[in-house]
Amino acid sequence: MFEKILIANRGEIACRVARAARALDVKTVAVYSDADANALHVRACDEAVRLGPAPARESYLEGAKVIAAAKQTGAQAIHPGYGFLSEQAEFAQACAENGIVFVGPPPAAMRAIKDKAQARAVMRGAGVPVVPGSDGHVGEEVAARRLPRRSAIPCW
C-alpha cells in the first residue's frame, strides 16, 4: 500500500481516484495547468502541484514534470487516470526508472498491444477470441470494404 499517490490527470477521473484513495487512507497529490488552478480535482486532493500553461502538451503531457512533482511531494506512485499519459509506455518506464510505481500495465505490456494488429496477434497467441477483421493495417477504404462483415450482435 502507498502512503501518497500523485494523480496525473484532471476532472472527473482525478476526483474518482482521489475519493478511492481517501477511502484507503492514502494521501493524494493533484497536478494542474494554469487553466485548472481552481478546478475540483485540485481541491479534492491533499496537495497540488502546478505543471505549467494551459495547453496539455505543456503541462499534463510533460512526463518529466509529472515525475518531478511526484518526487517533490514524496508520492510513491502515479495514477495516470485515462488518456494523457496512461497509454505511454515511455512514461511508465520513466516512472520505474525513478523508483515510482506506475498504476497501470507494465511498459512491456503497453508496447505489446500499442498497435491494433499486433494486439490482435498477441491475443490470438494467448488463446483469446478476437472479433473477425483484418490481420494487419488496412490503408484504404476499398480494401476495408472487402473485409468480412461482422454479424449483428443484439444489444438488450
Pinpoint the alpha helices (H) of the chain: 11-23, 40-44, 63-73, 89-97, 107-112, 116-125, 141-145
Share of the chain above pLDDT 90, in %: 71
Mean pLDDT of 56-70: 96
Q: Within 13 A of 155's CA, how many CA atoms are on the CB side?
A: 1
Q: Within 13 A of 10's CA, how many CA atoms are on the CB side?
A: 21
Q: Say which residues have a Cβ less than 8 Å from residue 13's Cβ, sequence separation at least 6.
A: 81, 82
Mean pLDDT of the chain: 90
Res 48 pLDDT > 80: yes
Give the containing element (helix H, strand E) for 30.
strand 27-33
Prediction pTM value: 0.81
3-state secondary structure of 153: coil
